[in-house]
Amino acid sequence: MKKIMNKIFLSLLAGSIVLVSCNKDFMNLEPLNQISSAQTWKDGALSDAFVAGIYGRGLFQGGFSEQMNASITDEAVFTHVGRNINTINEGSLSSSNVGWVDATYGWKEMYNQIRACNEVIANLSPDNTSISDAVKDQLKGEAYFLRAYFYHQLVRYYGGVPLIDAPYLLTDDFTKDRSSFTDCVNFIVSDCDNAASLLNGINMAKGRATRLAALALKSRILLYAASDLHDEATAKAQAGDVFGSYGHGEVLFYTTGDRQSRWQAARDAAKAVVDAGTGYKLDYTAPVTREQGTENYIALSMGGGSGDKSIDPTASAELIFARYFIADKDEGGMYMGLYNGPNGYHNWAGNTPLGLLVDDYEMMDGSNARSFDWNNPSDKAHPYVNRDPRMYGTIMYDGSDWKPRDLISGNVDPANQIQTGEYDLMDGGTKIVFKGLDTRSSSIEDWNGSRSGYYMRKFIDPNPDLVDNTDQQHVPWPFIRYTEAVFNYIEASIELNDLPTATLWLNRIRFRAGMPAITETTQGAIRDRYRNERRIEMAYEEQRYHDARRWMIAPTTLGRKVTFISVVGKFKPGKQMSKPYHHDETVYDYTYTPVEDNAHENRQWLNKMYFRPFDRNEVKKNPGLWQNPGYE
């Protein structure tokens, strides 16, 4: 048998030799499902496809992940357990447990795409004559912008990082020291300037980098650079326990230079964006109505992507750089309603607003505005009445109107109202305590309910025909919008003591939202009002985490214990209601009680948390990746 098998094998081998010899090109066939690098950089369409791929691989779903950045701030709490978010919020993160890291700023993901950008810039050099100069300029401009964006993501979480500006070869030394914070900022600014120059005059497709996007990113990084966290003297004065003895301060701070000149550079960069862009409805000279203010804010959050015809699609003019979604693809960013909507609609209640955020929406008293105050009997009795109109476009609260519930949950709530409390109710002649349909004791789902008593409304398409737990929505994620650049201009103006300019633009943002002009006149008071205004306007947009850190107010904001709301409805004397329940202040006396809850997350702030730790495996691979203070 062995001899027979050997003969068969030799016969097959001989046959294969004959076949190969008959076709000399047999072993030279290129793979049909791959394109060589040499081909890519000789063809404009292939080069364009390579650059387009960087957007998808590096930007992911934008900020529309199931776990949102808002839940590591005082905006929201993540409802579900076991996601490693509490590692960050409770201050237990370390080099061996870096906690939850979203791919949009993940170390590996960012450097993979930085390498791709370096490939584009290197291969579309002037000596590449296979592609027209116009195409090369566009693609290189996009690559410079994307590289700047990816580096800015790393820098604002970690401080200075190794700057790699060329594609590595396998023979290269992969170890490289962290670059100074100053060098990183200058590198990002240079890339933004290159991008703005190359993209000047080019009409880019929606979702791709533009000259204005490059200018806006430059504005952002220069504002960060001028802030307290990156000024060595200020940072050490406020967090000397971790920064005081750190031996590599240059990777976190400016160690030399004039801080006023940094604020001036930030202001100039922001002014360039303000002058070049248009934004959305920032030309009011007086407040719009409360109803119009809410409509304007909902339109802004939809970014022209809502299927509801009553929402102004021209608000898309606000978006400078965004992640868009199309119907042909089924992507996670299309399911914000499922991720964050009420469990009484069979949604997941993921990133639910904290009472800390809700309480920061101002009260409207006639033509004036003031802070909300639980110690004020009127505020406590009616906490959701006469508030900043933007609250109604951001937060779902007990009794607020929402979509037709019967589309998914049956005819159990003809009023279509959010129910996060417990209420007296008559059932067969007996008074019972009814747990609301959107609580964690819901008769629809007794899981996936909000812990905070609130739900996120912003970024969820209110189109009544959309069923959130099954249907796609096409709301774009706003990486950068015009109002952010206006805020940057305001902030730099405040720090340079140009208070009239700051007040003018701050009021324009407030007027669009239906809020009255501010009355403060001193630098400190206007600064405080501005910071709350930015918090409210940019809620859930991945601004708060970075703002609270760069302003070094994190101990009193991000580190606060979380607050939920307890809502109870009791029958008024002589009144009652039978099923189905609906909110009715003629029948019920409602009480609203803020509750501090440490069971789900016991939040605290430790000053090491001003920067994120490097994974110890990365430090082992690169000795020049000096660990951030507090994690050594």
Q: How far is it, in rounded angstroms, from Cα 615 to Cα 619?
A: 7
User: In which band, very low, low, confident or very high, does the pLDDT at 10 lie, cut at 50, 70 and 90?
Assistant: very low
Q: How far is it, in rounded angstroms, from Cα 503 to Cα 115?
A: 43
Q: Give me Rg for the CA atoms of the chain.
A: 28
- Mean pLDDT on 188-196: 98
User: In which band, very low, low, confident or very high, does the pLDDT at 170 lie, cut at 50, 70 and 90?
Assistant: confident
The pLDDT value given to residue 498: 98
- Looking at residue 169, its amino acid is L
DSSP, res 420: -
User: In which band, very low, low, confident or very high, does the pLDDT at 39 lie, cut at 50, 70 and 90?
Assistant: confident
Q: How far is it, in rounded angstroms, from Cα 148 to Cα 217?
A: 8
The predicted-structure confidence for 488-534, as pLDDT tens digits, reads as follows: 999 999 999 999 999 999 999 999 999 999 999 999 999 999 999 99
The predicted-structure confidence for 260-293, as pLDDT tens digits, reads as follows: 999 999 999 999 999 999 999 999 999 999 999 9
Inter-residue long-range contacts of 11-16, CB under 8 Å, 24+ positions, other chains counted: none
User: In which band, very low, low, confident or very high, does the pLDDT at 23 lie, cut at 50, 70 and 90?
Assistant: very low
The pLDDT value given to residue 38: 77
Contacts of residue 138, defined as CB under 8 A and 6 or more positions apart, other chains included, come to: 198, 199, 202, 204
CA atoms within 13 A on the CB side of 68: 33
Task: Provide the whole-model pTM.
Answer: 0.93
Q: What percent of the chain has pLDDT over 90?
A: 89
User: Domains of the chain, with CATH numbers?
Assistant: 37-65+102-255 (1.25.40.390), 336-457+464-471+563-596 (no CATH)
Q: How far is it, in rounded angstroms, from Cα 403 to Cα 399?
A: 13
The pLDDT value given to residue 124: 95
The pLDDT value given to residue 367: 81
For residue 101, CA distances in Å to 118, 195, 588 come to 24, 28, 45
The pLDDT value given to residue 623: 92
Given a contact cutoff of 8 angstroms between Cβ atoms, the answer to whether 305 and 432 are in contact is no
The pLDDT value given to residue 33: 56
Mean per-residue pLDDT over the chain, rounded: 93
The pLDDT value given to residue 19: 36
Given a contact cutoff of 8 angstroms between Cβ atoms, the answer to whether 536 and 360 are in contact is yes
Q: What percent of the chain has pLDDT over 70?
A: 94
User: In which band, very low, low, confident or very high, does the pLDDT at 37 lie, cut at 50, 70 and 90?
Assistant: confident
The pLDDT value given to residue 47: 96
User: In which band, very low, low, confident or very high, does the pLDDT at 35 lie, cut at 50, 70 and 90?
Assistant: low
The pLDDT value given to residue 137: 96
The pLDDT value given to residue 129: 87
Given a contact cutoff of 8 angstroms between Cβ atoms, the answer to whether 137 and 157 are in contact is no
- Whether the upstream peptide bond of residue 126 has omega within 30° of 0, thus cis, is no
Tokens found for residue 173: 């030394």
pLDDT at 171 over 90: no
pLDDT at 93 over 60: yes
pLDDT at 13 over 80: no
- Mean pLDDT on 89-96: 96
- Mean pLDDT on 310-327: 96
Centre a 10 Å sphere on the Cβ of residue 427 and count the other Cβ atoms it contains.
Answer: 10
Contacts of residue 289, defined as CB under 8 A and 6 or more positions apart, other chains included, come to: 514
pLDDT at 20 over 90: no
For residue 234, CA distances in Å to 68, 191, 195, 258 come to 30, 28, 33, 13
The predicted-structure confidence for 218-241, as pLDDT tens digits, reads as follows: 999 999 999 999 999 999 999 999
The predicted-structure confidence for 545-558, as pLDDT tens digits, reads as follows: 999 999 999 999 99
Q: Which of 17-26, 144-153, 175-184, 202-211 has the lowest mean pLDDT?
A: 17-26
DSSP, res 578: B
